[in-house]
Amino acid sequence: MSKTKIRNEKTKSILVRLQGGLVASCQPVDDGPMDRPEFVAAMAMAAVAGGAVGLRIEGIDNLLAVRPVVDVPIVGIVKSDSEDTPVRITVTKEDARALAKAGADIIAYDATTRPRQDAPAQVLATILSVGAVAMADCSTLEDAKRACDAGAEILGSTLSGYTDETENGAAGPDYDLISKLSTLDRFVMAEGRINTPSQAKRAMEIGADAVTVGTALTRLELVTKGFVHSIAGAKSEQVPTGYAIDLGGTKTAVARIENGKVVERVQRQTNGTSTMADHIDLMDQLLSEIGFKRGCKLGAAVTGRVDSAGYWHAVNVETMSGSNAVPLKRLLSARFGPTQLLNDAAAATNAEHKLGSGRGVDDFAYITVSTGVAGGSVLDGKLQTSPDGLAGHFGFSSSRSSDEICGSGRVGTVESIASGKAIANRAAKAGHSGLDARQIAERARQGEEWADEIMDISACSIADLAGDLRSILGIQRVAIGGSVGLSEGYIDRIRKHIATFPPLFAVEIMPAVLGTDAPLLGAIIAEAKC
């Protein structure tokens, strides 16, 4: 409170009660079934019972119904519609007087410069003259500065996104404006498109003194509609239909997918030294074999980095060296029609989360242990990406078990000790040349000590990686995939090592269930981003 200029003890008392709390905006949908004063009063009482420290109430009749049944501070407004002005909130001096008479402790007004009957400075002066606390609903920092100079005691981010100047901004809360308002010498009310607890928390963390939430609490029709759309979207998202490409380091596969199932699939060995034009020619040949026609829904998953502009970059040059920095999304779209593009491990993560072993978990990771080591993470239900496409390349993180150089150029990585290629290299150094990871895993199952040690070091590195993901990202479950990861006994080895961790880091380990279909399915799931 020390930053706020306080006019009198009454104002101080009101702001102290609001400090650090939630203000519930009880404003039903206009002319909806809840738009009656007795229902608004019930909403208000329920919000206070839930812990709201204040209320925002629209309309004199609603305010008269609410005031006798609650004892928390009330922000009062009057909304009006006029062809003469876009301003709707407490447009006139008479509105301010009526709100004060009805019991509003705080009166909010439109602090923008948009023309209206009574100038904002006149409305503000009236609010102060009737003994109420003045709250300026702002759209920009300039609005707030003018309101400060005129005597407003609360600054709200309420109108950001609702004026011509700001309507093209972000769809969510205007955190930038909230942060800027916090630099001024006034009480800051974060308000406008705050619909989740995490958004409210962030607003407080960046400087708000209190947070107002409306639609998510009291507009039942809109909240219901949001759930309905999400459920419908989830249904279509989880039963993808179309065609998909998986360009990997060892194979190129294409598939026809119907209702979330791969119904036809063909593949060929990948030549890592081929040009991208050669790769696309092979994709075209394979797609034609399963009936693809230009313009059908198509997704592509590819090993390596895929940046936000749709450029493909090789990361491990030992796996794919024939092309780099290629505008792959554009090339695929030119050949096949609109094509969704993302990294193969990210696609597999997407599929496992929505269709496989990650279902029901909001914070999930997928690790594929195959020729290389890669993966992806889902936080709060959303696949995590980065503009440069590096997110999810878990294999290039450090491992305490390795001092080998990795194909990425780093030394001592998980991939350099745990991948199928690394397993074969270690076997060769131990005098067992010519064996691949599958054969070495079989030797370990037969009890050959040298093979058992190599496989165990690989699994230990993956266990450490899973523990790191738990520690850094709060991951709840990790799915293990890939030819090495799903080989007999490998996940048991990982679990054995995780059992030695302190309980806080003992993340749940599950086998990936979609197998080699995962990148194909994930490539066409709606809303996946590269």
Q: Share the mean pLDDT of the chain.
A: 90
Q: What is the pLDDT of residues 449-494, one digit of tens each?
A: 999 999 999 999 999 999 999 999 999 999 999 999 999 999 999 9
Residues 211 and 247 in one domain: no
Of residues 502 and 233, more confidently modeled? 502
- Burial of residue 73 (CB within 10 Å: 0-12, 13-18, 19+) is buried
Any domain includes 343? no
Q: What is the pLDDT of residues 319-334, one digit of tens each?
A: 555 456 889 999 999 9
How far apart CA 349 and CA 521 sit, in angstroms, is 10
Which residues make beta-bridge pairs with 22?
211
Per the listing, tokens 């959303």 go with 382
305: containing domain: 242-338
pLDDT band per the 50, 70, 90 thresholds, residue 371? confident
User: Which of 247-251, 478-482, 512-516 has the lowest average pLDDT?
Assistant: 247-251
How far apart CA 137 and CA 349 sit, in angstroms, is 43
Any domain includes 458? yes
Among 197, 224, 251, identify where a domain stops: 224
* Host H or E run for residue 342: strand 339-343
Residues 293 and 323 in one domain: yes
Any domain includes 146? yes
Of residues 440 and 171, more confidently modeled? 440
Structure tokens at 193: 């498109």
Q: Which whole number is the average pLDDT over 429-447?
A: 94
Q: 342-368 burial, b for 16+ CB within 10 Å, e for fewer?
A: bbbbbbbbbbbbbbbbbeebebbbbbb
Residues 98 and 176 in one domain: yes
Q: Which whole number is the average pLDDT over 495-519?
A: 93
Highest mean pLDDT among 48-62, 298-312, 373-387, 511-525: 48-62
Residues 330 and 366 in one domain: no
Question: The domain that contains 479 carries what CATH number?
Answer: 3.30.420.40
Nearest of 129, 168, 127, 162 to residue 143 by alpha carbon = 162
How far apart CA 238 and CA 234 sit, in angstroms, is 6
Any domain includes 525? no
Say what the pLDDT of residue 528 is. Answer: 36
User: Which of 152-156, 175-179, 481-485, 523-527 has the lowest average pLDDT?
Assistant: 523-527
Give every CB contact of residue 173 below 8 A, 6+ residues apart in sequence: 157, 190, 192, 193, 194, 199, 202, 203
> For the chain, how big is the Rg over CA atoms in Å?
30
Widest distance between CA atoms in the chain: 92
Q: Which whole number is the average pLDDT over 129-138?
A: 97
Residues 325 and 457 in one domain: no
Structure tokens at 337: 């029609």
pLDDT above 60 (res 233): no
If one counts the domains in the chain, the total is: 3
pLDDT band per the 50, 70, 90 thresholds, residue 317? low
The secondary structure of residue 41, as a DSSP letter, is H
User: Cβ distance 58 to 109 under 8 Å?
Assistant: no
Any domain includes 262? yes
Residues 326 and 366 in one domain: no
Any domain includes 371? yes
Question: The domain that contains 52 carries what CATH number?
Answer: 3.20.20.70
How far apart CA 40 and CA 27 sit, in angstroms, is 7
Say what the pLDDT of residue 318 is. Answer: 54
Residues 19 and 145 in one domain: yes
pLDDT band per the 50, 70, 90 thresholds, residue 125? very high
Q: What is the pLDDT of residues 63-108, one digit of tens each?
A: 999 999 999 999 999 999 988 899 999 999 999 999 999 999 999 9
Residues 90 and 169 in one domain: yes
User: Cβ distance 184 to 190 under 8 Å?
Assistant: no
Say what the pLDDT of residue 170 is. Answer: 60
Instruction: Report the DSSP pairing between strands 242-247 and 298-302.
Output: parallel
End-to-end CA distance of the chain: 45
